[in-house]
Structure 1
C-alpha cells in the first residue's frame, strides 16, 4: 500500500501464458459472429462458436480476427476481451481502389474543406453571447467486463493467503503480502480513481470567455488539483482529425449517408497513415458524421489503431443555428495490473493474474442559453475561476447518479489518501509542470539546480522558496550556487508579499550577488519552458560580469492577459573579462529602473493557492522592457535600454508557420553588458565534429560564434514552418520536417567606447535549417543548419552546425 499513489497512475505491463476468452460481435447490432478466425503471426488459434466466443492460449501480445463479410481487426490479448467487427458495406465497393492506393477519396476531402471553411460560422463563438453548463466524470478502473472474474480471483487469493504457513514468510514478505492483499480487496468494490467537475461556461463577443468551476471533487485528495481542473476537450477546438495541417496524417473515404435526429449526414471513414501493411488497407480508425445542410460536424467516433486500446466519441447538436458540443466519452487502455498468486512455490514459479485497466471520461453539456445578459463584472479576473471545490453540490448537476462502485471509491480511496498523504505526492507532480519540486512548505527551483557556461563551467546550485503552506501572503526565498571553473559562490535572498489572493499582485525585495553574460536579452515574464529552451545560449560565451546589490519591484496582472512589473535596483557591476569602458575602467555603480509589460490576451489562466497558472499559452504574445539608468543615489551611469519580443503562429493549407520577431535599442553611453550580445551558440574555434553541435536556443543562432558580435541596436527574426508531410519512422511514431530560417542585423554606435575584442553585426546574418521531428522515433528533434549570405565563408566546415532540441519544448 505504500506505493499506492504510484499504482494509481502507472501499471505493470507483463507477459504471461494463460487462457484468454474473446467474444466477437457485429458492430451494427452486436450480434455474435460465428466461425470468425482468430490467428497470430499467420498461425490459426481457432474459430468462434455459435455464440461468437473462443477460448485460446497464446503468448502473443495481440491477435488478428477475420470473418466473411466483415473487415479484419486486431485486439490486445487479455484475460477477457470483446471485439466489434464492421460489416463490409456495399456502398464502399466503389472506393476500394482508392483505398488500396493509399490516397484519400477526393469527395471526402472536398466535404472536409467545406467543414473547415464553415467551422467559425457554425461555432457558438460566432454568437454575440451564450452560456451553458458541463458535468465531467473521469475514472480509472478495471475493465468492466472483467469485474466478476476479478472478484472471484480476490476471493481465492484471500483464502490462499490465510492457508499459507506463517513460518514460511519473513517479516517484510508478510507485510508486503498483507499490503498487497489490502490493495487487491480495496479495488474489488471500488475504482482506483474518481474525479467529478461541474462548470459554467460564459461567452461574450465583447468580454471573451469565462469559465466558473461550480464544484469539483477528486477521490483520495483533500486539496483540489487546479491543474487537473483545466483539462480541456473538443469543446471550442477544431478536432485534430479534420484540421488541415493534419490532413496527411489520415486517409478519408466517403462511404454513405445516414439520418440522425431527422437530419441527413455524410458518413466519412478515416484511418491513420501508419496502417502500412497491405492487409490493413481497408481498416478504419473511425467515422466522421457531417451535417449535409450546414456542413457542421455532427459526430466523431475515433478509435485507437487497435480498438481495444481505446476510443473517443464527440457529439454536437444544433442550437440557435449553431453547433454546440453535447456529449463526449472516452475509453483509453491504461495498461494491465498484475498480481502474483499466493502459494508455497518459489517466487519465480508463481503465476501472474493480469487485468486490463481503462481510463473512462464522460462529459455532458446542458442548459444552453443564447443570447444572455452580459455583465462586465462576471468576466473580470482570469479565464477560469473556482467557486467551490469540496464536492458538496455535485449532486445537483450530475446527469446520472453515481453507481455503488463509484460511491465506494470516495469512501475507500479518501481513507487511503489521508493515510498515505497522497495530496503531497500529487503536489510534487503538478509543481514539476511549473519547474518546481515541492517538499512540504518548500519549493525547489528546478532551473537553478544545474547549468553550464564558458565562464563558470559546471554550475550547481539550490534555490528554495517557502510556499503558501508557510504563509498565503508572505513567501521568502533564497539560492546559492557554485561555479567549478571560476571557483566562486553566488547567492541571493528575497521575499514576495502578496496584496491579494484573487490574482497575481505582489511586492518583492531582494539582495543578489551573482554573475551574468554580457549583453543578455531580457527574459522577464518568460515561462519555464521558454527559459529552459534558452538555457544553452551561453555554452560558448565567456564574457561575464559580476553584479551585487538590491532590487525592489511590484508586479500586477492588469487583466487576464496583461501583466505589469515595475522595479528599481542599485548594483555594483564589474566585468570579468578584459574590458574597459571609455578608459574609465571596468567597475561601476549603477542605479536603474525598469518597466516590463507582457501582452498575452489569448492565453488562459487560473488562480491557484501557489499563484497564477497558465494552462493554455495562445499566441500572439508581446514582451516589452524599458530600463532607465540615472546618475543619482550614487550611480555612475545614465543610459536607456529597450527590447521587445513578439511571438505568433499562422495556419494555412501549406502547414503551420511560427514567427519570432525581436530587437532592442540601448544608448551608447553604457558598458558592453548593457548592450546586446547577438546570441551566438557556436564555439570560437572549430576543432572537431562535436564543436559543430549545440543545443537549441529560443533566440540563438546555431552557426554564429558565441560572444563575438555586440550591438547597441538590432533586429532579429525566426521563422519555422512545419511541412505538411508525415511519415512513419519506427513503431507507431510519426515524423515530420520543419524548415527554419533565422536572421539578425545590428550596429554599434561609438564602438571605440568599448576596449575589448568584439565585432558589430552591421550586415544581415542568416542561417537556414531543416529539423527532423521525432528523430528516429525519439523525443528529440535533430536540426541541420547552414550559414548563408554576407557572413558565409568559403569553408563548408565553418558554416555548418548540428542542433538538438527536446520535442516537448515545442515551438
Structure 2
C-alpha cells in the first residue's frame, strides 16, 4: 500500500510541478509578443522574452496572460503551449482590414482526413490489452475570477437587507419560499461551489475479453446516493473528437499555420475557427488549435475556445504509449448563464427609461461548468483474467467517497471542501436525491413520483381505438428492492373500451438483470405485429406509428408467467408461457368460424448485443451506450393443451447494424418471420403499412416514421405467414448549414419486403399476400432547417408502383432523438 501511495505522490509531483513553455504571438501577424505577463490565480509568475517565450512551473491548471494594448486570455497548462492575442482597440483591426478567409486550407483538410482515417489504428484499442486509471472533478460555480467580488457583493446585500424593519415578502407562498431558498443559496456559495462531483475509475481492455470500467469511487455534493446514469457519462476518451468528424467540417474553417516539436516529436499546428464569423473584432481570430503528430497523424492536443473569451474553452491532451495514443488530460470551462441581482425593483408598467436604469443597476456574475480529468497508471500489455470482465461493462466498486484520496491528482481547495459540507446539508434539507431520481427516470422513458414510476406510453392514437388515454404505474426500488408490482389502465374513445392489466416482478439478485414475472391483461392489439420483445425505449417509441393506421385489431384477455435473465453483458434470455382468449375486433372469420378463440403458448426471446455497454443500477440494468450489431430472435409455440385451440409455430428475427466507411455512414436492418400451423390472422405478419389509403386532404400522404414500416404501403392490407425484409440507409458525406448551429445532411434510404401466404382461404376478410418484392426509396433531410427533426420523402417503385404519382409518394417526419 505504501508503494502505491508513493507512486501516486510521484506522479502528482511530476505532473503539478513539471516545466511548461508558453509562446505568445500577435493574432494579426503571428509576431512574438515581448513582456506578456503570466499569472496563476492573480499571482505573477513570469513574462515572455524577446521571442515571445516564457518557461515556468506552476500548480495551476490554467494561467492568465496579460499585456497592455492586447485583449488578455487564458490557456490550459501543458508542457508546450501557444497563445495568440488580439489588439485591444477594435478600430485598429478595422484599419488593418483583417478579414479572415472563408475557405479552409486544403493542406489542413488533407491532414485532418488522415487523422480521421488513422484514428482507429492510433487508438489504444488497437493494442492487445491495457489498463489505466482516471480521476475526474466536475463542478458548477461562479467565475473563479469573480469570487472575491461576489463575496463582497453578497455581504453588502445581506447587511442592507438585515437593516430593513420587519422585513416581509409580499409574494404568494410559493414565491416567498423560492425567494428564501434563493437567498440561502446565494449565501452558501460565498464560500462553496454550487455543485461538485468527483469520480475515480479503472479502465481494462482485452481483445479477448472486451472492455471493463470499474468505478473505484464516486461522490456528488448534495446527494447521498450515487447517480448511476451520471456515472456512465463519457468524455473524449474513446470517441473521435467532434472537430475531426467529417459531418462537422462545415462548422469550421481550418488553416495549417505552423509546426512545433513536443517531447521530441514534430507536430503540425492547425488552427480552426467557427464558420459564422469573418472579422475578429474584439474576438479571437481562431476558435482553437489542433496539434497533429507528423509521424502517426494522431491527435496530440485539441484546444477549442468560444468566440468570446469569457464563454469558455475545452482542452484535451494525448500521449503516445507503445505508439498508440492515450488521453492524458482534459480541461473544460463552459459558461452556463449568469446570476443577476438588481438593486432596483421592477415596476408593473415601467417606461423604457426606467427599464434602462434598472438594467444598468443590475449586477451580473457568470456561472460556469468546470471539468478536469487526469488519466494515469498506464500499463500495456497487461495480464488480465476472464473473471475481471464478469458482469456488465461498468461496475461500481465503491461510491461513498471514502477512497477518493487514493486517486486525487490534486487536493481539494478550501472552497471545494466546503461544497461537500454546505451542499450536502442543503441536499438533505431539500431531498435532492428524490428530485434527481425524477430526472434520471426520464432517461428510461418514465416519470417518478415517490415510490411509483409512471409510464405515459399507454396514451396513444390508432384507427381502432381512436384516442387512447391511459398510463402505467409501477412500484420502484424505493418500495422494495426485490418485489415490484404494477398496473395499467387505459380507455379508447372510439371503441369505447376499457383496457387494463396488472403484474408483479420478483428479482432474484441485485447484481444483474434476473427476475420472474406474472401478469394479467385485458387489452387490444393490431393484427400481425412484428415482435418488439427486449427492444429499448428509443426503438419502441420509433415504432409506435406501426399500429396507427392498421384497423385490423383483436381483443385478448389472459395470464402470462415468465423469467428474464442476462446471461452475460451481451446476451439476454426471456422465456414465458401464456394462456389467453382472443376475438377479432373487425369483420373476420377463421376457417368459417368466428367468436372467441383460446390459445396456450410458450415464447423464448434472445437478444444479442456484443458491443453495447451496460451498468446495473437500483432501478435495473441501464444501457448507456447502444452499439451495433444487434440481433433479436423470438420463437413462439402454440399447443392444443390447457384449453388451447391451435398448434402453431411462429418465429421472427431482426438483425441491425451500423458502420462507417470513407463513403459515409451506412445502416442496415434485415428482418423476417415464419409461421407454421393453423391460427387466426393476427398470429401471421402484417407487412408494416403506414398509409391509411384514405383521402384526407393535404395530410393523406403524410405519416410519422417507424422502425420497420413503409411510408407508401396501405396499412392492414398485406398479410403473410412468411416474409423477409430489409432496410438500408446511407448518409451522403456532404454536410452543410442552413440556419442555427446544427449541421444538416441527407440520407438515402432503400426498403424492400417480400412474402407469401400458404392458405389465404383460411382467413375470411379482405387482404392480399405480398408475393412480389415491395420497394420504396427515400431521401431524408436530417436536422431539417437546423431543427431537431428529420424530414423524409419516399416513393414506391417496382412491381407495386402505379401511374398515379400521389399514390406512390409519401412524406415522413422523424424526431432526431430517435436516431437510426
Task: Report Cα offsets for 1:504-524 as digits up to 9, x if no partner.
Answer: 011111111111000000000
- C-alpha spacing 1:723/1:632, structure 2 compared with 1 (3 Å): same
Matched, 1:542 2:551: yes
Task: Report Cα offsets for 1:381-407 as digits up to 9, x if no partner.
Answer: 000000111001111110000011111
Task: Report Cα offsets for 1:443-473 as digits up to 9, x if no partner.
Answer: 111322x101011111111211111111111
How far 1:555 moved relative to its partner? Answer: 0.7
Matched, 1:147 2:156: no
Distance (whole Å) between structure 2 residues aligned to residue 174 and residue 641 of structure 1: 62
Distance (whole Å) between structure 2 residues aligned to residue 605 and residue 282 of structure 1: 41
- C-alpha spacing 1:176/1:26, structure 2 compared with 1 (3 Å): farther
Matched, 1:225 2:234: no
Match of 2:407 in 1: 397
Match of 1:108 in 2: 108
- C-alpha spacing 1:192/1:69, structure 2 compared with 1 (3 Å): closer
Q: 2:590·2:680 contact (CA, 8 Å) conserved in 1?
A: yes
Q: Which moved more, 1:781-790 or 1:248-257?
A: 248-257
- C-alpha spacing 1:236/1:645, structure 2 compared with 1 (3 Å): same
Match of 1:583 in 2: 592
Q: 2:319·2:328 contact (CA, 8 Å) conserved in 1?
A: yes
Task: Report Cα offsets for 1:299-325 as digits up to 9, x if no partner.
Answer: 111123444322211111112322111
CA RMSD of aligned residues (A): 2.9
Distance (whole Å) between structure 2 residues aligned to residue 68 and residue 32 of structure 1: 8
Matched, 1:636 2:645: yes
Secondary structure at the counterpart of residue 541 of structure 1 = coil
How far 1:283 moved relative to its partner? Answer: 3.9
TM-score, normalised to structure 2, is 0.85
Distance (whole Å) between structure 1 residues aligned to residue 774 and residue 495 of structure 2: 32
Match of 2:59 in 1: none
Matched, 1:183 2:185: yes
Matched, 1:210 2:220: no
Q: Which moved more, 1:105-114 or 1:359-368?
A: 105-114
Q: 1:201·1:212 contact (CA, 8 Å) conserved in 2?
A: yes
Secondary structure at the counterpart of residue 610 of structure 2 = coil
- C-alpha spacing 1:236/1:777, structure 2 compared with 1 (3 Å): closer
Distance (whole Å) between structure 2 residues aligned to residue 282 and residue 415 of structure 1: 42
Match of 2:629 in 1: 620
Matched, 1:452 2:454: no
Q: 1:651·1:657 contact (CA, 8 Å) conserved in 2?
A: yes
How far 1:69 moved relative to its partner? Answer: 11
Task: Report Cα offsets for 1:13-41 as digits up to 9, x if no partner.
Answer: xxxxxxxxxxx9978879669xxxxxxxx
How far 1:86 moved relative to its partner? Answer: 5.5
Q: Which moved more, 1:269-278 or 1:758-767?
A: 269-278
Alignment of 1:384-463 (within 5 A): 384-448=394-458, 450-463=459-472
Match of 1:383 in 2: 393
Q: Which residue of 728, 739, 743 maps to 2:737?
A: 728
Matched, 1:328 2:330: yes
Secondary structure at the counterpart of residue 476 of structure 1 = strand
Distance (whole Å) between structure 2 residues aligned to residue 555 and residue 31 of structure 1: 69
Distance (whole Å) between structure 2 residues aligned to residue 443 and residue 252 of structure 1: 49
Match of 2:753 in 1: 744
Task: Report Cα offsets for 1:101-149 as digits up to 9, x if no partner.
Answer: 6433232233233323333332221222111110010000111111122
Q: Which moved more, 1:166-175 or 1:141-150?
A: 166-175
How far 1:189 moved relative to its partner? Answer: 0.9
Alignment of 1:440-589 (within 5 A): 440-448=450-458, 450-589=459-598
Matched, 1:272 2:274: yes
Q: Which residue of 762, 771, 779 maps to 1:753?
A: 762
- C-alpha spacing 1:539/1:307, structure 2 compared with 1 (3 Å): farther
Q: Which ranges of structure 2 fall in alignment gaps of 5 or more residues?
A: 1-23, 38-66, 74-82, 89-98
How far 1:778 moved relative to its partner? Answer: 2.2
Distance (whole Å) between structure 1 residues aligned to residue 116 and residue 178 of structure 2: 56
Task: Report Cα offsets for 1:719-747 as digits up to 9, x if no partner.
Answer: 22222222222233332222222221111
Distance (whole Å) between structure 2 residues aligned to residue 422 and residue 692 of structure 1: 48
Q: Which ranges of structure 1 fall in alignment gaps of 5 or more residues?
A: 1-23, 34-66, 74-82, 89-98
Matched, 1:238 2:240: yes
Secondary structure at the counterpart of residue 261 of structure 2 = strand
Secondary structure at the counterpart of residue 400 of structure 2 = coil
Distance (whole Å) between structure 1 residues aligned to residue 406 and residue 639 of structure 2: 62
Match of 2:57 in 1: none
Alignment of 1:298-313 (within 5 A): 298-313=300-315
- C-alpha spacing 1:384/1:771, structure 2 compared with 1 (3 Å): same
Match of 1:192 in 2: 194
Matched, 1:797 2:799: no
- C-alpha spacing 1:347/1:25, structure 2 compared with 1 (3 Å): farther
Q: Which residue of 366, 370, 379 maps to 2:380?
A: 370
Distance (whole Å) between structure 1 residues aligned to residue 347 and residue 157 of structure 2: 14
Alignment of 1:67-146 (within 5 A): 85=85, 102-146=102-146
Secondary structure at the counterpart of residue 110 of structure 2 = helix
Secondary structure at the counterpart of residue 601 of structure 1 = coil
- C-alpha spacing 1:167/1:611, structure 2 compared with 1 (3 Å): closer
Distance (whole Å) between structure 2 residues aligned to residue 727 and residue 122 of structure 1: 28
Match of 1:3 in 2: none
How far 1:705 moved relative to its partner? Answer: 1.1
- C-alpha spacing 1:725/1:199, structure 2 compared with 1 (3 Å): same
- C-alpha spacing 1:340/1:441, structure 2 compared with 1 (3 Å): same
- C-alpha spacing 1:275/1:587, structure 2 compared with 1 (3 Å): farther
Distance (whole Å) between structure 2 residues aligned to residue 344 and residue 777 of structure 1: 36
Task: Report Cα offsets for 1:353-387 as digits up to 9, x if no partner.
Answer: 22111110110000111222211111110000001
Q: Which moved more, 1:331-340 or 1:771-780?
A: 771-780
Secondary structure at the counterpart of residue 448 of structure 2 = strand
Q: Which moved more, 1:208-217 or 1:790-799?
A: 790-799
Q: 1:644·1:662 contact (CA, 8 Å) conserved in 2?
A: yes
Q: 2:247·2:734 contact (CA, 8 Å) conserved in 1?
A: no
Distance (whole Å) between structure 2 residues aligned to residue 703 and residue 276 of structure 1: 45
Equivalent residues, number: 738
How far 1:72 moved relative to its partner? Answer: 13
How far 1:667 moved relative to its partner? Answer: 1.5
Q: 1:134·1:199 contact (CA, 8 Å) conserved in 2?
A: yes
Secondary structure at the counterpart of residue 559 of structure 1 = coil
Match of 2:48 in 1: none
Distance (whole Å) between structure 2 residues aligned to residue 324 and residue 465 of structure 1: 44
- C-alpha spacing 1:174/1:577, structure 2 compared with 1 (3 Å): closer
TM-score, normalised to structure 1, is 0.86
- C-alpha spacing 1:246/1:577, structure 2 compared with 1 (3 Å): same
Q: 1:102·1:281 contact (CA, 8 Å) conserved in 2?
A: no
- C-alpha spacing 1:743/1:608, structure 2 compared with 1 (3 Å): same
Secondary structure at the counterpart of residue 590 of structure 2 = coil
Q: 2:685·2:719 contact (CA, 8 Å) conserved in 1?
A: yes
Match of 1:157 in 2: 157
Task: Report Cα offsets for 1:748-796 as digits up to 9, x if no partner.
Answer: 1111111000111111112222222222232211112222222112111
Matched, 1:683 2:685: no
Match of 1:340 in 2: 342
Q: Which moved more, 1:238-247 or 1:453-462?
A: 238-247
Q: 2:457·2:471 contact (CA, 8 Å) conserved in 1?
A: no
Q: 1:157·1:342 contact (CA, 8 Å) conserved in 2?
A: no
Matched, 1:712 2:721: yes
Secondary structure at the counterpart of residue 161 of structure 1 = helix
Secondary structure at the counterpart of residue 500 of structure 1 = coil
Distance (whole Å) between structure 1 residues aligned to residue 663 and residue 619 of structure 2: 42
How far 1:482 moved relative to its partner? Answer: 0.7
Distance (whole Å) between structure 1 residues aligned to residue 230 and residue 383 of structure 2: 30
Matched, 1:295 2:297: yes
Q: Which moved more, 1:368-377 or 1:496-505?
A: 368-377
